[in-house]
Amino acid sequence: MPGTATPSARAFYHVAVPLPLRSPFIYSAPKDGTPVLPGMRVLVPFGARRITGYVIGLAQAADAEGFRVRPIARVLDAVPSLDASLLEFLRRAAEYYMHPLGEVLRAALPPGINPFEKAGQFHEARIRQKFETVFTARPMPEDAAQEMQRRAKTRWAVYTHIAAHPGISSAALRSRWSTCAAHLRRLTDDGWLDAQQQPVVGDLFAGLDIAPDTPPTLTDEQAAATDAIVAQIRTGQYGGFLLHGVTGSGKTEVYLQAIAAAREMGRGALVLVPEITLTPQLVRRYMARFGTELAVWHSGLSDRARYDAWQRLRSGEVKMVIGVRSAVFAPLDNPGVIIVDEEHDTSFKQETGFAYHARDLAVLRASMSQSAVILGSATPSLESRHNADAGKLRRLALVTRATQRPLPHIEIIDLTQHRSGPGGQTLLSAPLHRAISETLSRQEQVILFLNRRGFAPTLLCRDCGEAIRCAHCAVSLTYHTHPRGLVCHYCDHRQSVPERCPACAGTALHPVGIGTQKAEEILRELFPAARIARLDRDVGSGARAEAVLDALRREEVDILVGTQMVTKGHDFPKVTLVGVLQGDVGLHMPDFRAGEKTFQLLTQVAGRAGRSTHPGRAIIQTFNPQHPAIAAAQHHDYARFAAQELVDRAELGYPPFGKMVAIRFNSTDADAVEAAAKGLAQHLRNAAKATGTDVTLLGPTPSPLSLLQGRHRWHLLLKSPRQDWNRRLLLAVVEAIEAPPKGVRIHVDIDPFSML
Ligand code: ADP
Ligand code: ZN
């Protein structure tokens, strides 16, 4: 009825809320008449609370009929937080992963920007902002300069330093001249300096002082790859590439050239890297080429720094971001190229909550934004390999190292033949011991890799055979010596070392097995003259880990022993020997990707050796020398490994041939979780029968990690040739998934990685 004040004259909006509710809610326009646009954050009444939601779009009046529609309480954005293309990308992501859109949108925005309500009081979210004073120099006439040089040497030094470093902070100046405050005041008062207040960015990467580089002459292989990618970028159309390049083949240079091509077209660039490789060393390479016009996105950022990075991107101030997994959601306008380095790396997979795979979303985002996508790796995932075989990705190969260094020679040591080495210890076989001695005598460096931190993986009672276990998880506690105690590597529960066995009260508790702390101790005994350092999560991450790697780089360390953290990172020219102490650690995991992960890891580790002028060598100790993953790694034979593994996967219908979904159940109540898993399985079987869908159900079974953080766990796997078949089946039981039995949580993981 036109002209009358019926509800249909009001505007209605679909609003997604960050709660495990699949469909958006409908609200009417705010009473104060503030304009509402899709992508804006709004405060909406929800039950008795008010929560932040995200406007998805206009709703029809008919959609609102029959509901008590309440108005939006407040519009939180003047411009939408999410632009239309990002909103659409996230909508598609939420749909693919069957995850509530509101939660997906929240995951895509920097934390801490939302206002919140506490005890009935509404609080504007204020990300704490710290300011510092920064200085720039004004030109000084010659006579004044000479006068100051003569009469106030320190003040002159401060002034010239600022002139050479415009925007330098007072903190940085104070660290150089502890008494510079008076000079700064005087210089400012005399008009030679400009002082400004600027927000502090708490960032490992801020203030890197970087000299610009000149691009090297590309190798023929690099040039061919670059030409293909640049040609694609210039078309302004989507195109996907698999850049398969051996370690040290110069993939980064190809990325840099691709980014330059995108920038020439006025488009942006998004670079995703594994958390572990996002080091100042790496960022430096990008800054050396493109200056500081880039945002760095990693988990160590403060909320403030993350928000700043997000703002700089959203405002278009910077058009390039390098970051970890979640950077795939960066508000980058119009990316021309999206790069996923080490695309096989498992850290791109989010395991909890919105369980997305950043590599797969990178491909989706590229296709939606008509940009090129480059998946780079020395050991491509079988999924990407398969996509290349199927023509979905164009394969570009770099088979030689850019520096023309040969790949390291890899030797396999059969531990069944070398039970113990010099001194009777079981850490180093005689051949590896000898190789270390030789390397040290040439003044070269050694990296030793052991995928277990702590001192010993178990504290075992020799009387009754019990291992001391975590009270909350179905795993044994790891014995640590610095500081001394037992630690659960799954939930971080810590306890002191008991005097007596909790099971039999005996006193025969002994550490069994070797972790990095014990390895370090043994190495000190075997090589007393060597400078030995350790790197694992107990040493620290971020700046602390960097300090250890810097010491290695400066050749202040002869032997570095550690976990995964030593396997990535950048060139250490004097590292000529890499030893893998237990090459089969991951091989016996209940995971169909165990072989693939082992192959990738061994290739990665071995690739650390001999990257510069000194030839490199890698030694892998293993109890399974014949295993295909280990044999293929020894011969740098990705093709053979992939071919064999793909045959096996095809036979079993595993990815990349079959598509999987994991449904995980957990509860503090063991019976409730079992009943829930069995109930849903039955429900799914019925639905499969009713709809005639060809989906295989595996399980339900207790998860291999059957207790975690005090919660009992079961899982159920779906496997079928097509993901939409799985999805259709899940949609048939979606109500049961959304409303699990009391006390039970259900998590759906599309294309799961973890089988634990
Ligand atoms: P990848 O990422 O493939 O392991 P990098 O990009 O780290 O390899 O390159 C390995 C080394 O080779 C680096 O030190 C890099 O500076 C150097 N490099 C790359 N391209 C060239 C080139 N065209 N000429 C000379 N050196 C190069
Ligand atoms: Zn635990």
What's the CATH number where 291 sits?
Answer: 3.40.50.300
User: What is the pLDDT, as a whole number, of residue 171?
Assistant: 75
Transcribe 369-431 into DSSP letters.
TT-EEEEEESS--HHHHHHHHTTSSEEEEE-S-TT-PPPPEEEEEETTT----GGG-SSS-HH
User: What is the pLDDT, as a whole number, of residue 747?
Assistant: 95
pLDDT at residue 115 is higher than 80: no
Shared domain check, 499 and 525:
no
Give the model confidence (pLDDT) of 192-245 as tens digits.
998 887 655 545 565 566 788 889 999 999 999 999 999 999 999 999 999 999
| Residues 276-287, mean pLDDT to the nearest whole number | 85
User: What is the pLDDT, as a whole number, of residue 22?
Assistant: 72
- CA 324 to the chain's CA centroid: 4
pLDDT at residue 737 is higher than 50: yes
Atom of ligand 1 at shortest range from CA of 285: 16
**Closest ligand by atom to 273 CA:** 1
Predicted structure pTM score: 0.85
User: What is the pLDDT, as a whole number, of residue 517?
Assistant: 94
| Residues 600-613, mean pLDDT to the nearest whole number | 83
> What's the mean pLDDT when you consider all of the chain?
89
User: Per-residue confidence at 136, pLDDT binned at 50, 70, 90?
Assistant: confident
User: What is the pLDDT, as a whole number, of residue 538?
Assistant: 87
Tokens of residue 91, six digits: 């909508």
Give the model confidence (pLDDT) of 451-481 as tens digits.
899 998 889 998 888 899 888 888 889 999 8
* Long-range contacts of the stretch 679-686 (C-beta < 8 A, 24+): 679/736, 679/741, 680/716, 680/733, 680/736, 680/737, 680/746, 681/716, 683/733, 683/736, 684/716, 684/718, 684/729, 684/732, 684/733
Q: Whose CA is nearest to atom 9 of ligand 1?
A: 250
Both ends of the chain: CA-CA distance in Å? 60
Beta sheet of 409-414, edge-to-edge order? 409-414, 617-622, 575-580, 445-449, 559-562, 532-535
Residue 690: closest CA among 655, 732, 744: 732
Residue of higher predicted confidence among 52 and 436? 436
User: Is residue 685 situated within a structural domain?
Assistant: yes
| Residues 293-305, mean pLDDT to the nearest whole number | 83
| Residues 84-97, mean pLDDT to the nearest whole number | 95
User: What is the pLDDT, as a whole number, of residue 523?
Assistant: 96
Shared domain check, 35 and 179:
no
Q: Provide the β-strand partners of residue 43.
A: 52, 74
Give the model confidence (pLDDT) of 57-72 as tens digits.
999 888 878 888 999 9
Transcribe 184-200 into DSSP letters.
HHHHHHTTSEEEEEEE-
Give the model confidence (pLDDT) of 330-355 as tens digits.
999 899 999 999 999 999 999 999 99
**What's the total number of domains in the chain?**
6
User: What is the pLDDT, as a whole number, of residue 61?
Assistant: 83
d(CA 231, ligand 1 centre) in Å? 22
Shared domain check, 354 and 259:
yes
pLDDT at residue 484 is higher than 80: yes
pLDDT at residue 118 is higher than 60: no
What range does the domain containing 302 cover? 220-398
- How far is 69 from 28, CA to CA, in rounded Å? 6
Q: Are 684 and 719 in contact (CB under 8 A)?
A: no
Give the model confidence (pLDDT) of 674-718 as tens digits.
999 999 999 999 999 888 888 999 989 999 889 999 999 999 999
Read off the amino acid at residue 197.
Q
Spatial neighbors of 753 by CB under 8 A, at least 6 apart, are: 346, 349, 351, 357, 593
Residue of higher predicted confidence among 400 and 90? 90
d(CA 403, ligand 1 centre) in Å? 6
pLDDT at residue 2 is higher than 60: no
Residue 383: closest CA among 372, 392, 374: 392
User: What is the pLDDT, as a whole number, of residue 122?
Assistant: 52
User: Is residue 19 situated within a structural domain?
Assistant: yes
Q: Whose CA is nearest to atom 19 of ligand 1?
A: 250
CATH of residue 708's domain is 3.30.70.600
Spatial neighbors of 680 by CB under 8 A, at least 6 apart, are: 663, 665, 700, 716, 733, 736, 737, 746
User: Per-residue confidence at 8, pLDDT binned at 50, 70, 90?
Assistant: very low
Shared domain check, 243 and 375:
yes
Shared domain check, 429 and 300:
no
Shared domain check, 306 and 244:
yes
User: Is residue 755 situated within a structural domain?
Assistant: no
User: What is the pLDDT, as a whole number, of residue 119?
Assistant: 53
Give the model confidence (pLDDT) of 162-185 as tens digits.
887 777 778 778 867 777 888 999
Spatial neighbors of 130 by CB under 8 A, at least 6 apart, are: 199, 200, 202, 304
Which residue from 253, 340, 611 has its CB within 8 A of the most atoms of ligand 1, so it is best to mutate? 253
| Residues 271-300, mean pLDDT to the nearest whole number | 87
Shared domain check, 246 and 118:
no
Domain boundary among 648, 677, 698: 648
Ligand 1, CB within 6 Å, residue ranges: 216-219, 222, 245, 247-253, 402-403, 571
User: Is residue 173 situated within a structural domain?
Assistant: yes
| Strand pairing class (268-272; 239-245) | unpaired
Domain boundary among 200, 228, 262: 200
pLDDT at residue 730 is higher than 80: yes
pLDDT at residue 6 is higher than 50: no
User: Is residue 3 situated within a structural domain?
Assistant: no
d(CA 611, ligand 1 centre) in Å? 9
Q: Is 253 left (phi over 0), alpha (psi -120 to 50) or beta?
A: alpha
User: What is the pLDDT, as a whole number, of residue 36?
Assistant: 93
